[in-house]
Chain A
């Protein structure tokens, strides 16, 4: 009797496991079309290679696939995520460690379906969720460019991911839940320029990777696309592109949006943190028509204006202390009325980056400083010193509380614990 029951239980478990296995295997290839012909096209023309080089910059492939001081596109840079560190692969045409053995079809499948040549699913730290919108033509051009690079033998370091994120089964389930292969989303009702902008922003540009909030599984929340998100694992906040109070550009003159993308500075603001890298490595190289198209698309995003909550003024003692710190360390550049110095140091009065509800970036900028990216349009940028060594947590919190509530600014104060957390995070 007992033996029969045991047999029934074991049988049931086997069936469940088999079903689960079959489901995962099915999910693993969910939505994929056959790869088709593996043959690579005839030797690429110089023109195709040049186009591919441009598109690789638009996609900022080097941002992840070139390590600090390393060979171009040879991979090895670690990308921190909430699930562990993912290492970018080698995109040079080395047969053993790069994409030397890949066909253009393999490359397209990686971009379009997130699957490597050997059949493994790729981690979505590689933004195939955006690149899936890239056309086969553009994919082939990037492939041709990468194949033209010098081959660098350099194996990708093993990913350092926690269980169960380290397994292909988890990836298969994740992908089934969060990914559908895409097509360039053409909207015939919109201008060609808008459509080009949409293609660049949502495809190669993969702006949503940072600017769209993510759910607990690390997937982009499509309903809040470009609505502002914490850059997972990096300790930055990518402000909303659809809110005038954050990083929305609907109200800006078009040429200012273009200037921000191409030079890193505009009269209304400048880029810091990960966006400085994006401008340095990617958007400064955009052709004028492409930069304009992106700007047109970004300006046309439906804008949100969240209801303003009543703001409690920070304690007077903190503000007084903050005012002293400001006078001693900040006023020389930012001015005694927070007016800044045009062309050199940003105004803090009315500066939306100063007033963001999420103070992550503000704390990072004060603690670690940084130069704006040096671009063709702004080759000798100014910068902010790193105050980590000079100011304690209380002083950092006090000066930020002061700056957020001086000269007409009004925003919640910054707590010492926030400054402490920001300091310890890096």
Chain B
């Protein structure tokens, strides 16, 4: 717990520093309070699907939430509650909760600093995996597809406060999120950069990317990077305020 709190404070400090460096007000919500000790029984609800301590593994469908950036988790809770993401069981659960409380829940899971299990064996032939790796690490400039690493971090463990990591997730979950974005079933705050990117991906691209991502080990405890070293390739509503590169 102490480690978790420390980690959380460190994240908060990094966020504050980053905000100062960029001189921009981060639109992504910053948790109002540090996760408090009595949250565990309050979020037991979440653990039925997201695993004990929010550590769902790649064996199931539901994504791990432990150690994800607090702003990202909070945005998703708000998106479910307000209908930008459609998954009725989630929306129903949190229908009558306030922004403050949802942010506190997000902060609780974000502060958990826990290891990941090793990844399952690759689920696709080498050629497909290579195609996935290339898209993740280099993107496809001809089709205006940025590389995943440009926003989600070189280690793909996300960037505080609001960009999620992409490793340690069930392949089916990644497939269905990209599919949902392409069809409008999943939305984020406008401008919805991921919707634009998902619409440029072919089903084969999605399958390749998810296969490669699902096969990667997660370094350390998968903690998100403190800052994104370069400008974002596109503007994203969920992390409004970060600098955006021109031209793509």
By a beta-carbon cutoff of 8 Å, the part of chain A in contact with chain B is 67-69, 276-277, 279-280, 332-333, 341, 344-345, 368-374, 379-390, 426
Contact A369 B45, beta carbon cutoff 8 Å:
yes
Closest 5 CB pairs of A and B: A69-B82, A385-B48, A373-B96, A69-B83, A280-B96
Partner of B97, one of A67, A374, A390: A374
User: What would be 20 A-B contacts, judged by CB atoms less than 8 Å apart?
Assistant: A69-B81, A276-B95, A276-B96, A277-B95, A345-B41, A368-B93, A369-B45, A370-B92, A371-B45, A371-B93, A371-B94, A371-B95, A371-B97, A373-B97, A374-B98, A379-B98, A381-B42, A383-B45, A386-B92, A390-B48
A389 contacts B49, CB within 8 Å?
yes
Partner of B48, one of A68, A379, A387, A426: A387
A62-B128 Cα distance, complex, nearest whole Å: 51
The answer on a CB contact under 8 Å between B41 and A344 is: yes
- Residue B10 interfacial (CB < 8 Å): no
For B131, the chain A residues whose CB sits under 8 A away are none
Pair A380/B45 contact, Cβ less than 8 Å: no
Contact B91 A68, beta carbon cutoff 8 Å: yes
Beyond A373-B97, A379-B101, 9 extra complex contacts between A and B, CB < 8 Å: A68-B82, A68-B91, A332-B44, A333-B41, A369-B45, A371-B93, A382-B45, A385-B45, A389-B49
Query: Chain B 36-68 against A: per-residue CB contact (8 Å), 1 yes, 0 no?
Result: 000001101111110000000000000000000
How far does the Cβ of B165 sit from chain A's closest Cβ, in whole Å? 24
**A380 and B101 contact, CB distance less than 8 A:** yes
Chain B residues within 8 Å of A426, by CB: 88
Given contacts A371-B45, A371-B97, contact A386 B89 (CB under 8 A): yes
Cα separation A345 to B44 with both chains bound (whole Å)? 11
Measured CB to CB, the nearest residue on chain B to A372 is B96
Q: Are B41 and A368 in contact (CB under 8 A)?
A: no
CB-contact partner of B89 in A345, A372, A380, A388, under 8 A? A388
In the docked arrangement, what's the CA distance between A387 and B89, Å? 10
* CB contact between B83 and one of A68, A280, A383 (< 8 Å): that residue: A68
B104 within 8 A of A: yes
Given contacts A68-B82, A374-B101, contact A333 B96 (CB under 8 A): no
Measured between alpha carbons, how far is A372 from B94 in the docked complex, in Å? Answer: 9
Q: In the bound complex, what is the Cα–Cα distance between A341 and B42 (angstroms)? A: 12
Residue B140, interface by CB 8 Å: no
Q: Which residue among A276, A277, A388, A389 has the maximum number of chain B CB atoms within 10 Å of its CB?
A: A389
Q: Is B199 interfacial (CB-CB < 8 Å)?
A: no
In the complex, residue of chain B having the shortest beta-carbon distance to the beta carbon of A345: B41
Instruction: From known contacts A68-B82, A69-B82, A386-B89, infer whether A374 and B44 are also in contact, taking CB-CB under 8 Å.
Output: no
In angstroms, Cα B43 to Cα A382, docked, is 7
Cross-interface CB contact of A368 among B89, B97, B100, B101, cutoff 8 Å: B89
Cα distance A333–B45 when bound, in Å? Answer: 10
Q: Do the beta carbons of A386 and B48 come within 8 Å of each other?
A: yes
Does B84 interact with chain A (Cβ within 8 Å)? yes
Min C-beta distance of B26 to chain A, whole Å: 22
**A255 to B104, alpha carbons, bound, how many Å?**
30
The distance in angstroms between the C-alpha atoms of A385 and B48, with both chains bound, is 6
State A277–B97 Cα separation when bound (angstroms): 10
CA A371 to CA B97, docked complex, whole Å: 8
- Is the beta-carbon distance between A368 and B92 smaller than 8 angstroms? yes
**Cα-based distance from A276 to B92 in the complex (angstroms):** 11
Taking CB atoms, residues of chain A closer than 8 Å to B97 are: 371, 373-374, 381
What's the nearest-Cβ distance from chain A to residue B160, in Å? 24
Q: How far, in whole Å, are A186 and B104 apart by their CA atoms in the complex?
A: 47
Cα distance, A333 to B44, chains bound together (Å): 9
Shortest distance from the beta carbon of A81 to any chain B beta carbon, whole Å: 20
